Structure 1
Amino acid sequence: MRPTSPPPVPYHATAARPAWSALPAGLRAAVTARLGVPVVGARTAGGGFTRGFAAVLTTADGGRVFVKAAELARDRHLTDWYAREVAVLAGLPAGLPVPRPRWTLDAAGWYAVGLDAVDGRMPRLPWDPAELTATLAGYAEVAAALATPPAALTGLGLPHLADLARQDILWWVEVAAGREPLPPVPAAVPDRLDDLVALESRLPAYAATATGLLHGDLRADNVLVGADGRVWFCDWAWLCHGPAWFDLVTLLLPAYAGGSDADALFAGHPAAADAPPDALDVTLAALSGYFLTGAAAAPPTAPPYRSAHQRWSGEQALGWLAHRQGWSLGAAPRRPHDAPPPDR
């Protein structure tokens, strides 16, 4: 039996975020005024890989809202992501299992967004079979709704996965050309560079033929399982034109790591119905290079645990690809853990 490989730190404990009480008084006052009633509780989100504020706020009348906020001058990239997510959520078709935007505001040099609070939790990893089945069914619903891009979204100027791949996803070609250092990889990977480059290089052309939209960042920590078993999909800042089967691969990486038959899950999913025969291998090659080189190049100021999770994701993608291709990669390099898990 293939051994399982859990994430280095549980997804629900990866974030380092400011508490509600640590936000500027002017921002807290503006949010409270927008809610219309005092905030009596704040549950900070434990997942994610940014330093932005994210918490479910409870108000005196029993209401709940999920608020994200970041400082405009210091974290402009985050505020841009939040604004883009609000625009995307507002344009997604009605009835999909996604949180809906309520409001946005600027105050005290910060930008904040209020979204519907989803009563749910991240899925258990290794995947609980029932939760995995529900998640894959939920994503089939989302992929079908986005197969023909809604008019409300096409006007947003969304990027294309084909362009994103050329600009920032294909990294094995950079390693092979000597423009990027080889990240820590198993011993036999250098002998497979030509194969990895050949596979990843097909992604832009495959993505360019797709007519629908995909989430673009469909990790397990962007999934919430509701108390009623319904699955919700969150964090929509990276919606782009491209094939839904790309999302399916990123969603299934933890399934492969947990010992599930990820090949069969991919092949049997509606999102992969029109995928090229080697689409899974092409995507795994691209993702392995993207995550492994990203982890190795992370600056010391990067959020805690991001590099560890990038490395883990890259290792799972590379291991899954090697398993499918019948490659023997050899021993992985010894390396220290990036950081101990938080004591909570």
Structure 2
Amino acid sequence: MAAGVRLEWRAVPREVQRLVEARLGSPVESAVTQPGGFSPGVAARVRLADGRRVFLKAVGPEPNPDTPDLHRAEARITAALPAGAPVPPLLMALDAQGWVVLAFEDVDGRMPTQPWQPDELLRVLAAASDLSVSLNPSPIEAPTVGDRFSKKFQGWRRLSAAAEEGIDGLTWLDPWARRNLGRLAEREDGWVAAAAGDALIHGDLRADNILLTEDKVMVVDWPWAALGVPWFDVVAMGPSVIMQSGGPDTMGLLDDHLDAQGAHPEDVTTVLIAIAGYFIHQSVQAAPPGLSTLREFQGAQGEAALLWLRQRSNWS
């Protein structure tokens, strides 16, 4: 499975490190880089000289100029979340010399086992449902999912236009998707209405944004939070779960969960169409600066989304 390339804490300019240590009230004694995710920056569990442990995220203006703004958004959103939310508290946010550094309370937890295990998946799905209930209506201001993702979720329409204009023959595209391209592009247009709602959704829920403790499921990395239908995160997470599970039963578990949550089947399929189109289209674009493995990961999710979509749609 593709993964991002992390920076070590020592890559942060020493002047910025000193500012962080001053804000935390103690020098950094050791920093252990953590796996998972795609941010081209620091993600490290840190022990301070006074014995405290914190989790530090840091990113500079290079190699990807967009990532600092994502860290700034994460700081704003996380700081505004209710105290009881299963989210590590933000201890500090620092913006200096083009670097953005966030410090969170360290969580003694782990990512879900890969491939996904059914019991852990059911635990995460139950936690996602509980979280959507507790954050519905949203306790904070946030853009709607339509405002947040409408420019991104136009993959099928863009592929269709490229084919019509002779820019891309789409010979690389899955044959089922190529046969149904017109239907996919038409149906994709309705995803905003299908996903509209008042719940605060995470917007980027995946295994690498989840920590399992003995008694909790913690959700991290909130820069893409938005207002939407409560089941949105489960559909958006589904392709990565299918990709990482290695078994067809996963789609059944996801469908059963969505049915139990009262999600309208046609709305779920419409949102899944938009998500599948996004991953498929993005997978053939040039890699963003500093994110050399992202397109491979998106392509794998796109293939998984198509498997789920073929099962749900029953289109020939």
Normalising by structure 2, report the TM-score: 0.89
In structure 2, the partner of 1:243 is 229
> In the alignment, is residue 134 of structure 1 matched against residue 102 of structure 2?
no
In structure 2, the partner of 1:313 is 301
Opposite residue 20 of structure 1, the aligned amino acid is W
Equivalent-residue separation in structure 1 for 2:38 and 2:260 (angstroms)? 27
Would you identify which runs of 4 or more consecutive aligned residues in structure 1 move more than 6 Å? none
In structure 1, the partner of 2:198 is 211
Whether the 8 Å contact between 2:145 and 2:195 is mirrored in structure 1 is yes
> In the alignment, is residue 159 of structure 1 matched against residue 143 of structure 2?
yes
Whether the 8 Å contact between 1:248 and 1:266 is mirrored in structure 2 is no
Equivalent-residue separation in structure 2 for 1:317 and 1:263 (angstroms)? 13
Q: Do the aligned partners of residues 56 and 321 (structure 1) sit closer, same or farther apart at CA in structure 2, a change above 3 Å counting?
A: same
Whether the 8 Å contact between 1:199 and 1:281 is mirrored in structure 2 is no
Deviation at 1:163, TM superposition (A): 2.9
Unaligned 5+ runs, structure 2: none
In structure 1, the partner of 2:11 is 22
Deviation at 1:236, TM superposition (A): 0.3
In structure 1, the partner of 2:209 is 222
Deviation readout 1:70-120 (Å, 9 max, x if unpaired): 224765422221121111112212222111111122334422111111211
Deviation at 1:300, TM superposition (A): 6.9
In structure 1, the partner of 2:279 is 291
In structure 2, the partner of 1:87 is 76
Q: Do the aligned partners of residues 164 and 61 (structure 1) sit closer, same or farther apart at CA in structure 2, a change above 3 Å counting?
A: closer
> In the alignment, is residue 174 of structure 1 matched against residue 162 of structure 2?
no
Opposite residue 307 of structure 1, the aligned amino acid is R
Equivalent-residue separation in structure 2 for 1:312 and 1:242 (angstroms)? 25
Opposite residue 266 of structure 1, the aligned amino acid is D
> In the alignment, is residue 39 of structure 1 matched against residue 39 of structure 2?
no
Pairing partner for 2:254 from 265, 269, 289: 265
In structure 2, the partner of 1:66 is 55
Deviation readout 1:251-280 (Å, 9 max, x if unpaired): 23244342234244334348842x333122
SS of the aligned residue for 2:152 comes to helix
Whether the 8 Å contact between 1:171 and 1:290 is mirrored in structure 2 is yes
Equivalent-residue separation in structure 2 for 1:114 and 1:301 (angstroms)? 25
RMSD across aligned C-alpha pairs, in angstroms? 2.3
For these two proteins, the number of residue pairs brought into alignment is 309
Opposite residue 91 of structure 2, the aligned amino acid is R
Unaligned 5+ runs, structure 1: 1-7, 329-344
Deviation at 1:50, TM superposition (A): 2.1
Q: Do the aligned partners of residues 22 and 268 (structure 1) sit closer, same or farther apart at CA in structure 2, a change above 3 Å counting?
A: closer
Equivalent-residue separation in structure 2 for 1:164 and 1:267 (angstroms)? 28
Equivalent-residue separation in structure 2 for 1:193 and 1:159 (angstroms)? 30
> In the alignment, is residue 78 of structure 1 matched against residue 62 of structure 2?
no
Pairing partner for 1:253 from 212, 234, 239: 239
SS of the aligned residue for 1:111 comes to strand
Whether the 8 Å contact between 1:266 and 1:272 is mirrored in structure 2 is no
Opposite residue 96 of structure 1, the aligned amino acid is A
SS of the aligned residue for 1:95 comes to coil
Greater CA drift, 101-110 or 45-54: 101-110
In structure 2, the partner of 1:107 is 96
Opposite residue 265 of structure 1, the aligned amino acid is L
Pairing partner for 1:185 from 173, 176, 185: 173
